Amino acid sequence: MVYEILSGSNSSEYYKLSDHPGMKTASQELGKRYDFLDNEEIKQEILDFSDNGVSRVKFFIPAIHCSSCIWLLENLHRLNEGIMHSTVHFTKKEAVFTFRDSRISLRGLVELLASVNYAPYISLESVDKSSKKKTNRDVYYRLGVAGFCFGNIMLFSFPSYLAIDDTVEQFIRQNFGILNILLGIPVAFYSGSGFFISAYKGLKKRFISIDLPIAIGILALFFRSVYEILSGTGPGFMDSLAGLLFFLLIGKWYQGLTYQALSFERDYRSYFPVAVTLISEKGEESILPLKHLKTGMRILVRNNELIPADAILVKGEGSIDYSFVSGESDPVKKTEGQRIFAGGKQSGPAIELIIEKEVTQSKLTELWNQKPGHEERQNNWESLMDVISRYFTAVVLILALATGVTWWFIDPSRAALVVTAILIVACPCALAMTLPFSFGGAMRVFGRNGFYVKRSSVIEALSRVNTIVLDKTGTLTKSNDFDANLDHLLLPEASFNLLRSLVRHSTHPMSVAVYQALPNAPALPVKGFIEHISKGVEGTVGTHHVKLGSGEFVLGRLPEGTPSGCLFVSIDGSSSGYIILKHKYRDGMRDVLLSMGKKYELHLLSGDNDAELSALLEFFPTAGHMNFNQTPVDKLNYIRKLRSEGRKVMMIGDGLNDAGALYESDCGISIADDVYHFSPSCDAILEARQFWKLSTFLKFSKISRRIVIMSMLFSFFYNIIGLSFAMSGNLTPIVSAILMPLSSVSVITLITVATYLASARTKLNKIYPV
Amino acid sequence: MNVILILVAFSLIVAIVGLGAFFWSVRSGQYDDPYGSSVRILFEDEKPRSAEASPPVQGITENPSNQK
């Protein structure tokens, strides 16, 4: 029922648009916006497959968020006959469309999607096929094999635990033993191959990972069992081996559950358009793929389009929004002849530019290239698990050796058996599961609260942070919410209502701020209201013509000596002063900063001037911790300096100007209003409206670390019990078969319960209303 | 006693078929998007539609005409 209504409203909307093309400004803009999809070269790059008049394409659609989205997109063939089939991949927010070229073009498809508000996200990166990842299903196969063998081996091992001694039973025991070996081979060498590979890789880099004792344990289990079964001396430990790998792989699978739809590794290519509008010498417009853009070319940039390369403005009036780059959303005015840097967005009528530098050499991309390669990034601390596993492996090897030597003197025939028993029982299965389950659990608690970490190891990085560096604009302040200051408004109070009635008709955040700041009064009727994009608003209120907006718009010039970010007012053509607008601070900023300030050293890095210094001083230890007028490179170097002093630095920023600093820090958090859209590469993405929970997240990461340590001690306890059996030469298969699953299951239970209690205590278990 | 060996062989074969079915289900992408599948099963289809990535060619014929 609901779906029918939904489809009814959406399809009627669609037909309205197509019956009257150009009637709505939205559809007119659309008409130009996807022009580039008619370009043959771009089309070939975007399409996955095209043959015999049938094409297939995969899009990332950030707007997918609920079951109705799936239904609508998968029933798109009802809206257009050309679409044959569509499939949504919900967790990746992707949709695959198969369509007939003769009925609908690629551009038509994208415009259809945009008209039902599912505009796909097409960027330079999505065109680059090489960067696409394949879904990894490996862990499922390994888990399946391990589970299959685990069940069967347990079945075949069962008779050997019954103390029957009979010649016939002996025959069965032998056969079942052989079956167990056959089943044990795929478990040890297919399901377990990941541990051998990672242990070997670690050894090659002279590094002992937790996988090394596991690999040794697997080998000891396997060969000891093969020996026992073939020699007829015992039933072997195949059931323990299969169970061990089954549990370990569950841990691996749990660790691998990450946020597939979020991208943490963005570079400039994901911000840039696929194509630009080229203007030839004769003034004709044509579409040019971005990679063919050369210096000296003349291009057209329309409203809301991104400037792809450093260029000089040659025609039109630039009003460039650099919010991607700096986080500052107030547009910067540019006039003909001035230089415009790449990364800005034009807001206003179309402008024409002449390209000065190629895309890969512009200022913005240079910023990216300053960063070291991803492999070179090194944390200046060792993870908890690295330290533990190094000592653990050393202790186990020494114990095994010492016990072996001791037994050599007592009873040489049993020495080898005791040594393998130690290696088996010391296999740190429960230990290896503490990290994925506790940090993985914390990761999911954070995810429910709008804080998305790249992988579970980021939680450990968070728990070790002792210094927090904050960006100001866009991080501490909201990007689209203002406080209006009326001190410089030269209007009699009686005229306030003229202005208020005018801005009532505009939904622009600046107008809303002015409306809220003015005293309440009954609204007057407004005639001829016009909103000029990125300039201002005007209209006739009663008998007066009122204008509000930029200096150029209201007065025809920018008066000297007025601060940036003000709105000028004129009534019937006479200037009436100005209103200063300031970005509002985020909700709960005060509490968060004060509580973080108690435990962490706070620093501020702002690209702005120091006008806000006094307002923010109470949160920072000294004025020296607050740095203004910082360039992106300054920010990066500042973090580098802090880290070289041995600090564990967390950086919180939003724009591309923070990208270098985010990357350089131990834990870079990017804050975003829409997590599926633009965010620089980072370790975690925080939803902007959850900013006030930041100190709780930090606290939770510390609790999580304590849970890890607690459960590690718990699993050591099991290891000690097991070792005491092994060293005395009493480790029987049945002891091992009981001890091993018991330790794993109890450690996982302990962690799950502890994580739940911690989330309840920090109130992160409830999902807050938006 | 030999009957046990036959039964064991039989049970192993059944279990291997099960494992094969699991492999097939993973390969066909059934574990890729658990949320999507859980929702899709509740949709009322007028005509059964295959949810696999390989497109059925009868796409046009199943388009209901009541939209226009």
The neighbouring-strand residues paired with A570 are: A547, A575
Rounded to an integer, what distance in angstroms lies between the CA atom of residue A71 and that of residue A552? 49
Name the β-bridge partners of A285: A279
Q: Do B60 and A81 lie within an 8 Å CB cutoff?
A: yes
Chain B residues whose CB is inside 8 A of the A92 CB are 33
Report pLDDT digits (tens) over A310-356.
Answer: 888 888 888 887 766 665 666 777 888 888 888 788 877 888 888 88
- Of A1-10, A228-237, A391-400, A486-495, where does the model show the most confidence? A391-400
What pLDDT shows up at residue A770?
38
Point out which residues pair with A144 in neighbouring strands: none
Of residues A395 and A369, which shows the higher confidence score? Answer: A395
The verdict on A210 and A166 lying in the same domain is yes
Q: Which residues of B touch A257 (CB under 8 A)?
A: none
Rounded to the nearest 10 degrees, what angle do helices A412-425 and A733-761 cross at? 20
Name the more confident of A367 and B33. Answer: B33
Domain holding A244, by residue range, is 138-259+380-437+737-761
Does A452 fall in a domain? yes
Q: What distance in Å separates residue B27's CA from the closest CA in chain A?
A: 8
DSSP tag of A190: I
pLDDT at A145: 93
Give the pLDDT band of residue B1 (cuts 50, 70, 90): low
Let me know: does A488 contact A578? Beta carbons within 8 Å. Answer: yes
Decide if A137 and B36 are in contact by the 8 Å CB cutoff: no
Closest chain B residue to A174, measured at CA: B5
Structural domain boundaries enclosing B6: 1-28
Q: Which two tokens stand for residue A434?
A: 């503490």
Helical (H) or strand (E) element with A47: strand A47-51
A255 and A386 part of one domain: yes
- In which order are the strands placed within the sheet that holds A601-605? A451-453, A684-687, A667-672, A649-653, A467-471, A601-605, A626-627
Phi, psi for residue B19 in degrees, rounded to 5: -65, -40
Q: Do A98 and B34 touch (CB under 8 A)?
A: no
- Judged by CB atoms closer than 8 Å, whether chains meet at B1 and A89 is answered as no
How far, CA to CA in Å, does A333 sit from each of A301, A319, A336, A357, B29?
15, 5, 10, 21, 51
The CATH number given to whatever domain includes residue A347 is 2.70.150.10
Half-sphere exposure of A456 (CA within 13 A, CB side): 25
Q: Name the band, by pLDDT with cuts 50, 70 and 90, for residue B52.
A: very low
- pLDDT grade for B16, boundaries at 50, 70 and 90: very high
A297, A713 in Cβ contact below 8 A?
A: no
**Residue pointed to by tokens 């991080």:** A475
The overall pTM is greater than 0.90: no
Q: For B4, which residue in chain A has the nearest alpha carbon?
A: A172
Strand locations in A168-310, DSSP E? 275-279, 285-289, 298-301
DSSP assigned state of A315: E
- The top-scoring range by mean pLDDT among A139-153, A292-306, A372-386, A578-592 is A139-153
Q: Which residue in B has a C-alpha nearest to residue A261's C-alpha?
A: B33
- Residue A651's CATH number: 3.40.50.1000
User: Distance (Å) from the C-alpha of residue B20 to the closest C-alpha of chain A?
Assistant: 10
Could you tell me which residue, A741 or A376, shows the higher pLDDT?
A741
Q: Are A684 and A383 in contact (CB under 8 A)?
A: no
Q: How far apart are CA A646 and CA A661, in angstroms?
A: 16
**Cβ under 8 Å to B: A residues 554-593:** none
Contact: A152, B59; criterion CB under 8 Å: no
Residue type, A490: L
Same domain, A358 and A210: no
Is the CB of residue A650 less than 8 Å from the CB of residue A319? no
Residue A529 domain-assigned (yes or no): yes
For residue B12, the chain A residues in CB contact (below 8 A) are 152, 179
Q: How many residues does chain A have?
A: 770
Residue B41 lies in a domain: no
Asked whether A341 and A365 are in contact (CB, 8 A), the reply is no
A289 and A350 share one domain: yes
- Cβ within 8 Å, pair B51-A144: no
**pLDDT band at residue A166 using 50, 70 and 90 as cut-offs:** low
Asked whether A498 and A546 are in contact (CB, 8 A), the reply is: yes
When CB atoms are compared, the residue of A85, A91, A179 closest to B55 is A85
Domain boundary among A92, A122, A152: A122
> Mean of the pLDDT values across residues A358-380?
60
Distance separating alpha carbons of residues A731 and A97, to the nearest angstrom: 59
Residue-wise pLDDT tens digits, A28-59: 456 667 777 887 778 887 888 788 888 888 88
Give chain A positions within 8 Å (CB) of B64.
78
Are A422 and A442 within one domain? no
Give the residue from A348, A407, A325, A430 showing the smallest Cα distance to A653.
Answer: A325
Higher pLDDT, A328 or A121: A121
Within this chain, do residues A513 and A648 fall inside the same structural domain, yes or no?
no
Task: Name residue, tokens 């939770």.
Answer: A700
Give the distance between the most distant pair of CA atoms in chain B: 73
Q: At which of A585, A609, A628 does a domain end? A: A585
What's residue A680's pLDDT?
72
Residues A94 and A15 in one domain: yes
Q: Among A70, A145, A168, whose Cβ lies nearest the Cβ of B40?
A: A70
**Residues belonging to chain B with any Cβ–Cβ distance to chain A shorter than 8 Å:** 1, 4-5, 8, 11-12, 15-16, 18-19, 22-23, 26-27, 29, 31-36, 39-40, 42-44, 51-53, 55-57, 59-60, 62-64, 67
Those of residues 157-176 in A touching chain B at CB distance below 8 A are: 168, 171-172, 175-176
pLDDT higher than threshold 50 for residue A417: yes
One domain, residues A615 and A560: no
Kindly identify which residue of chain B lies nearest to residue A147, measuring between CA atoms.
B19
pLDDT > 70? residue A718: yes
For A395-448, the DSSP string reads: HHHHHHHHHHHHHHHH-HHHHHHHHHHHHHHT--HHHHHHHHHHHHHHHHHHHH
Domain count, chain B: 1
Q: Find chain A residues with C-beta within 8 A of B56's C-beta.
A: 84-85
Classified as helix, coil or strand, A602 is strand
User: Domain for residue A339, yes or no?
Assistant: yes
Query: Mean pLDDT for chain A?
Result: 80
Residue of B nearest to A79 (CA): B67
Flag whether pLDDT at B60 surpasses 50: no
Identify all chain A residues contacting B8, using CB atoms and an 8 Å cutoff. Answer: 156, 176, 179
Whether B22 is covered by a domain: the verdict is: yes
Q: Are residues A695 and A601 in the same domain?
A: yes
Please report, to the nearest 10 degrees, the dihedral formed by the alpha carbons of residues A119, A123, A128, A130 taken in order. -70
Size of interface A-B (CB pairs under 8 A): 88
> DSSP of A219-253, one letter per residue?
HHHHHHHHHHHHHTS---SHHHHHHHHHHHHHHHH
B19 inside domain: yes
Tokens of A414: 């049993």
Distance CA A319, CA A331 (A): 5
Which member of A11, A67, A171 has the closest CB to residue B39?
A: A67
CB B39 within 8 A of CB A67: yes
What pLDDT shows up at residue A223? 92
pLDDT over 70 percentage in chain A: 86
What is the per-residue pLDDT across A281-310, written as a single tens digit (0 to 9) for each? 777 888 888 778 888 888 888 877 888 888
The partner residues of A333 in beta bridges, in order of sequence, read: A319
Identify whether residues A490 and A468 lie together within a single domain. no
Nearest CA-CA distance, residue B16 and chain A, Å: 8
Q: What is the rounded distance in angstroms from the CA atom of residue A138 to the CA atom of residue B29?
A: 12
CB A695 within 8 A of CB A593: no
A3 touches chain B (CB under 8 A): yes
- The number of folded domains in chain A is 5
Contacts of A152 in chain B (CB under 8 A): 12, 15
| Residue B51 forms part of a structural domain | no
Domain-embedded: residue B14: yes
Lowest mean pLDDT among A161-170, A328-337, A719-728: A161-170
Structure-block tokens of residue A656: 């591309």
Interface contact flag, B67 A78, Cβ < 8 Å? yes
The answer on A538 and A488 residing in a single domain is yes
Does A129 reside within a domain?
Answer: no
Tell me whether A141 touches chain B (CB under 8 Å).
Answer: yes
Supply the ipTM of this predicted assembly: 0.72
Structure tokens at A289: 């793929």
pLDDT above 70: residue A359: yes
How far apart (Å, rounded) are the C-alpha atoms in residues A99 and A110? Answer: 12
Helix (H, G, I), strand (E, B) or coil at A451: strand
Interface test with A, best of B2, B58, B63 (most A CBs within 10 A): B63
- Residue A362 and residue A281 share a domain: yes
Kindly indicate the confidence band of residue A767, based on its pLDDT and cuts at 50, 70 and 90: low
Q: Extract the tokens encoding A112.
A: 């259809």
Domain edge (last residue) among A335, A368, A401: A368
